[in-house]
Structure 1
């Protein structure tokens, strides 16, 4: 009996892990616009300490041992034929092709600022983009970070601790930042920001200009909440305005906001054999299937639908959890949904065991 064929569209954080779970049970094809994992996590580290960030979050696919039996295709997704069960792809060399499937995993994520885009890129282009953003931030004497989520808090703190001489200011519209985390998390991190010299400015709602997510250009920020305009050598917009990467999909699969509609098993209604996971999947208001590590559950459900085992419901988290600011001083602090924190000391020693072995099941040097 032939093995089922599973196509994973998008090999970001979640798609990559889903492919790793499935490689023993099917012929898996992964399609990616990048030649490796370029994570959307830990923007602050990526900007302030890019070499440290790249060690954990930017790795070529050939480093992942469990991808040895996964065929990876470097190209752009161009369409989906539900009747023929085939994905259309344009390769990095411009050659069109089709990838038939018995099961399809949509894991194409979202576009968010300059650091999360679906553009087809080479490794050299990725390296140059990361280096250029770091250089722009390094050269700025004053920095404004706009937004109240984890990316904003992490960017402000990492900039201030990496370059203590800079003036760094964090502006957000609510009474507190991190509104989707437990209140204790913001209390802890606000104190840390202030001790690092970051100016913390609640109650500031920015007037968003065209092209706000394109880079770190100098400029003026005006506020619809009535405060005087602010200026800086580098303005970083991390306002959570995301666009799902679903332009290649039939509109019938999408919710009114353009995300992929899914049921409690991460199946796409009305599309047999199609599933979605990660930020692109409309699982819940916070789209928690990525942070909630639903990759193992999805792999289980696909196997069940193919005749091996029983499916399990995905239960969304009500609050965000995890690391917010990345490793600091060789210690990684993780916050629970209830606001408690625990630290993993000597992170540079533990990281190969926790991430490379436990999560990715083995990585080459």
Structure 2
């Protein structure tokens, strides 16, 4: 029996995991503008300790054993013919190449800040970009982080931990940060920020041009629509959550009013049962929680159900974000439950148990030796 073909459009965190789960059951082709898994997670670690970040979150595809049976295509997506079941890509030479599919999984994510951009890059270019941002942080005697989400909070904490002499200030518009998490999560993280000497400034809404997505580190003064005096620092990191879905290659009929992919509870596109969407690009719920919560396993199961004529299962989003906020720290690793409770792992277990056994072998089916990222950290 001829094997079905699945095209995974986007090989970020969710695309890679979905491809790995389907590789045993179909001919899987993954399309990515990066030549590696370049995760958008753990911005604070990426800026402060990029060599540590790269070991887990910047992994060339040929080092992921789970992708050995997946054909990866380094190219930008340019269009799709839904009737013909074909996607089109440009590998940089200006020529559109077509690839047919029996099932299409859209996992192209979002553009959000300088660290998540859908640009076609080589491995050397990614490394240079990460190194330059780290050097910018190392040279700053003061840093402002604007934003109240996990990326902003993690950035402030990790910069303060890595460079204690640097003045780090976190500004956000609400009464508390981490509003998508349980209130107990913020209470715990706030105590950690205070201990690190981070200046915490609630009630500050920055004046931001409509077209600005936080896609660069700036040095100009930050002004506030809430009336406070302007703030200055050597470097300003914008983690303001202005996520723009990477869906310019898709027809408007598939998208909601904000440009995210409309999906059914089964993570299929309405009217196209052979097209799925998962991750930050999928309009599952206001927090777009299929970017985690094992939605990759659900999509892979539902793709197989499509091919086998079985009933698909529905995705049920959680009420709050959960998981790590600050990433691994010298005193251990904290995981927050949806109810805001803390699960603490000792520091030694992260490198000896969690990463090598649970993440590398269990989730990614094995990672070959991953070179560190040379930096001046």
* Same topology, TM > 0.5: yes
TM-score (norm 2): 0.95
Match of 2:217 in 1: 216
Distance 1:212 1:137, change over 3 A: farther
Contact 2:34/2:121 (<8 A) preserved: yes
3-state SS in 1 of match to 2:121: coil
Alignment RMSD: 1.1
Match of 1:286 in 2: 287
3-state SS in 1 of match to 2:272: coil
The alpha carbon displacement at 1:308 in A equals 5.7
Stretches of structure 2 lacking an aligned partner (at least 5 in a row):
370-377
Q: Distance in 2 between matches of 1:267 and 1:66?
A: 24
Q: Distance in 1 between matches of 2:213 and 2:105?
A: 31
Q: Distance in 1 between matches of 2:292 and 2:364?
A: 15
Q: Distance in 2 between matches of 1:58 and 1:233?
A: 27
Match of 2:177 in 1: 177
Match of 1:34 in 2: 34
Deviations 1:186-222 (A, max 9, x none): 1111111011110000010110145451322211000
Contact 2:12/2:39 (<8 A) preserved: yes
Stretches of structure 1 lacking an aligned partner (at least 5 in a row):
none
- Asked whether 1:352 is paired with 2:352, we answer no
Deviations 1:264-303 (A, max 9, x none): 0000002241000000000000000112121001110111
The alpha carbon displacement at 1:132 in A equals 0.4
Structure 1 stretches of 4+ moved >2 Å: 92-96, 209-212
Q: Distance in 2 between matches of 1:23 and 1:125?
A: 29
Match of 2:368 in 1: 364
3-state SS in 1 of match to 2:80: strand
Q: Distance in 2 between matches of 1:87 and 1:172?
A: 40
The alpha carbon displacement at 1:129 in A equals 0.3
- Asked whether 1:253 is paired with 2:254, we answer yes
Q: Distance in 2 between matches of 1:198 and 1:324?
A: 16
Contact 1:106/1:276 (<8 A) preserved: yes
Distance 1:124 1:190, change over 3 A: same
Match of 1:100 in 2: 100
Give the number of aligned pairs: 365
Match of 1:83 in 2: 83
Moved more, 126-135 or 346-355: 346-355
Q: Distance in 1 between matches of 2:259 and 2:321?
A: 22
Deviations 1:73-96 (A, max 9, x none): 000000000111000001144443
The alpha carbon displacement at 1:33 in A equals 0.3
TM-score (norm 1): 0.98
Q: Distance in 2 between matches of 1:193 and 1:259?
A: 34
